[in-house]
Amino acid sequence: MPLTRISLRAGKPAEYRQALSAGIQRSLVDTFNVPRDDVFMLITEHTSDNMIYDRQYMNIERGDDFVAIQLTVSNTRTVEQKKALYRRIVDELGQSPGVRPEDVFINLVEVEKENWSFGNGLCQYGTRSAE
C-alpha cells in the first residue's frame, strides 16, 4: 500500500528511473512485507534550479545525483523495520543504478489505514474484514 514519490534531477535515462523504482520496490517487499504487485510510484524530474537541497547538511556530502524518496505508508511498522528499509534502499540503489548513499534522502510519512482508497470510492482498509 505504499505511495512512493521519487524526485531527481532531470536528464537521467528511462533505465535509470526504472532501476530506482525497482530497487525501492524490492526493499519494500523485503523489509515492509509489501506485496510484489502493490506498486504505486510517481517519478518527478526537476531542473537544477528546482532541485534545492543543502549539499552538506548533517555533514553528508551530497552531489548532483541527489534523489529524494518520499514513502507514504500505513503506520504499522516498527523502528527496526524502518531502519532496515532505509539501509536496504541505499544498498539496492547503490547496486543499480549506482546512486551513492550520500545522495539518497528518504522521508517516511505514516498514515492511518483508513486513509487509503485504492479505487471505486471505497475505503478498502476501513473495516476489520478487509485487513
- Sequence-separated (6 or more) residues with CB below 8 Å from residue 80: none
101 catalytically annotated? no
Pairing between strand 67-74 and 3-9?
antiparallel
DSSP label at 55? S
Opening angle at CA 3, ends 36 and 26, nearest 5: 35
Tell which residue, 109, 99, 76, 116, has the closest CA to residue 5. 109
Choosing from 2, 35, 97, 101, the catalytic residue is 2
Q: Rounded to an integer, what is the distance from CA 17 to the centroid of its chain?
A: 12
Which residues does the annotation mark as catalytic?
A: 2
